[in-house]
Homo-oligomer: A and B are copies of this chain.
Amino acid sequence: MKKYITIHPWKIIENDFHPQYKRISESIFSIGNGKMGMRGNFEEEYSGDSLQGNYLAGIYYPDKTKVGWWKNGYPEYFAKVLNAVNWISLNIKINGQTLDLDKCDISDYKAVLDMKESVLYREFKVKFKKGESIIVQSQRFYSMDEDDLGVLKYSIYAENFTGKIEIESITDFNVVNEDTNYGEKFWKGISTKVNNQIGIVTAMTKKTEFVVSCITSNKVFLNDEIHKIDSMPSKKPQRFSHSYSIDVKRGDVVSIEKYAATVSSFFYPKEDLHKIGEKLIEKSMRDNFSSIKDRHIKKWSQIWDKSDIKIKGDDSAQQAIRYNILQLNQTYTGKDSRLNIGPKGFTGEKYGGSTYWDTEAYCLPVYLYTSDKKVSENLLQYRYNHLPKAIENAEKLGFKNGAALYPMVTMNGEECHNEWEITFEEIHRNGAIAYAIFNYTRFTGDNSYLYSKGLEVLIGISRFWAQRFSFSCKRQSYVMLGVTGPNEYENNVNNNWYTNYIARWCLTYTTKTLKKLKKKDIESYRAIVKKTKLKENKELKLWGKIASNVYFPSDKKRKVFLQQSNFLDKTLRAASTLSDDERPISQKWSWDRILRSCFIKQADVLQGLYFFSDKFSKKELKKNFNFYEPMTVHESSLSPCVHSILANKIGRKEKAYEMFLRTSRLDLDDINNDTEDGCHITSMAGTILSVFEGFGGISVAKNKLNINPQLPEYWKGLEFKINFRETPLKIVIKKKKITLINYSKAKFDLTLNNKKVILKEGKNVFILNEN
């Protein structure tokens, strides 16, 4: 836990340079536009510890799997997001002395990530050995308006000297990933060209053969006037630069603007990359920095208009929640169904930038609330695209007849993970993927995706469940053996309650949906039956037979559902009995000890109660929450958010706020000591959910929107917009009243604190009972 970021409602501020937190700050100050993103690396040379990272959506390398003992069925490779061309690099010399913050005497350092703008600013003062003093100001962004474009502006004020400022503006494709299994380089150079105006470097990923070109050009200013000066182009393998040598007098300001187009064959034909990039750079050079920046900020203001959350009376929470919204939107904009949301987004290499079930469980609902439904639909489409590979994946593991097992970790639909207890057994991911289809349909009220594509996915997944359940003679019911639930601190258990529940739900939901479609549109129904080769009688009958007789472990005495068949064989104890030096147990305990213990990494039974909360009574929620939460160590970043939401549902406001604090400032305060690897992007989505669904009390049941707000003691107000079934709403919660603004022309009815209310167009004010 660190506390070096200054609190501000709209800005992330690092006052003073903290070299010891360099990697953490690099993660925190990441910028991105959904198509590209980069860590908060310095433009100028930095010889201290740093993790250089600039990542491009969709571009990955299949790194050869590293495994101690091979198990049949393991994937050959692990797809990895790639550190790509470094175009921000500026080598700066002041009277021959290199500017390097690891070696210089720095003062007045300040880094600011302006969240409203998604622009990273830095400024600092440097005194050189020979006495020269400069003040540097920099800013950069990845344009949200022109999404292949990155721009930076870097100004040097010659405070007290006359002499020479040299700037080498470098574009370098000699980059590596720190995280490689066998120390391989992932890029090979294709070409490098440079002239006085412009340079272009092109490289290709090995194996996957993605081609990426980076085209850059610079403008140099002296005291805000264009400075016509020789650009001294130079070229090395996979790298080019332009160098400028400027004579300055005391008080002069030298600035450089750098425009970089990064274009990849993921989006454009290989043969067009140079042309597209050059055209963009030429256009940008003709344009000017401030108008490019304005257009970028305008796009962001549109995002903020839809997705901002205002928290009154708690700037720390306000800063945190906006940071979460910013980073999620920097990672994914929902334009392209081939893309998804890696747990670290564009902020680090860890987890390979691949897709986990986090997307369906935590991210998709946020986009449902805040974006056009096309965005969430693209996330569903992503899995639809991968259905054939999910079927292949299941076949590899011995399943048949179109059963689909979606990968635990993937880039292109193929499984990338290689621990048997996860890869082969953490199959509940299939459940979350099915649930997302339901969730989307329920929230949007639009069945068209479900009937046209969702059903195919549901059929594949249901087939998997039907084969994965087996009949136990002993229990005379269907059991699911050898699984790992969301709580990865238990492996290879039988009858994980959550998995059994979501699997059964999936069988029932698929069957119901098929029946509905059959009634509604027999043509479409027949088409899907034909396409999926569904044996209506045999398969649906079996699904029904299983669904009506699934074994669910429970403790009748305690009146709780049991995480798995043998949970009560364990010695139960509260996590609070763990001493500080035993935590986190993932680092302090051996794996077997963790597995034997009752300690829970993240919501498991509770994850089920969260997904299906309208199916359980408040009493059931309470019993289970009070049983499991004390044993939960929350060592997954995805744990506190679900607990925060559930705690609100059962009226445990203090606990809800405690859990919110743990999740909302996870990266800003480096709570888990791992922000240096990158930010927890998908967990940020969970935090946003904990505001919408927890404090905001938003839910959907019986086709209606429900609002049961629960403001924490410390908050004076909470305000956000959602877009439910094409009705845009603004929700303004205060301690004693709630204002609901209906932006549609039509009346809108919902439940507010369990009472039906009808919203007229415009403002609707309701007084809240204190509770």
Contacts and interface: CB of A to CB of B under 8 A. Distances in A.
Interface in A255-286: none
Interface string A511-546: 000000000000000000000000000000000000
A68 B471 CA distance: 34
A759 B69 CA distance: 53
Given A68-B419, A396-B590, A591-B73, A566 B566 contact: yes
Contacts of A472: 568-569
A561 to B, nearest CB: 16
How many identical chains are in the complex? Answer: 2
Contacts of A129: none
Given A72-B586, A569-B474, A596 B67 contact: no
Given A68-B68, A590-B398, A590-B424, A595 B482 contact: yes
B68 A591 contact: no
Contacts of A586: 72
A72 B590 contact: yes
A397 B475 CA distance: 35
Nearest to A483: B592
Contacts of A66: 66-68
A479 interface: yes
A586 B69 CA distance: 13
Contacts of A397: 590, 592-593
A482 B419 contact: no
Nearest to A183: B182
A77 to B, nearest CB: 12
A503 to B, nearest CB: 15
Contacts of A72: 586-591
A419 B69 contact: yes
Contacts of A71: 590-591
A65 interface: yes
Given A419-B68, A566-B494, A471 B591 contact: no
Interface in A65-107: 65-69, 71-73
A191 interface: no
Interface in A585-609: 586-593, 595-596
Interface in A398-450: 398, 418-421, 424-425
A769 interface: no
Contact of A569 (B396, B481, B590, B596): B481
A301 interface: no
Interface string A6-17: 000000000000
5 contacts: A68-B418, A73-B590, A397-B592, A474-B569, A482-B596
Given A68-B418, A73-B591, 20 more contacts: A66-B67, A66-B68, A67-B68, A69-B418, A69-B419, A72-B589, A72-B590, A398-B590, A420-B592, A424-B592, A470-B571, A472-B568, A473-B568, A474-B569, A475-B569, A479-B569, A481-B595, A481-B596, A491-B492, A565-B566
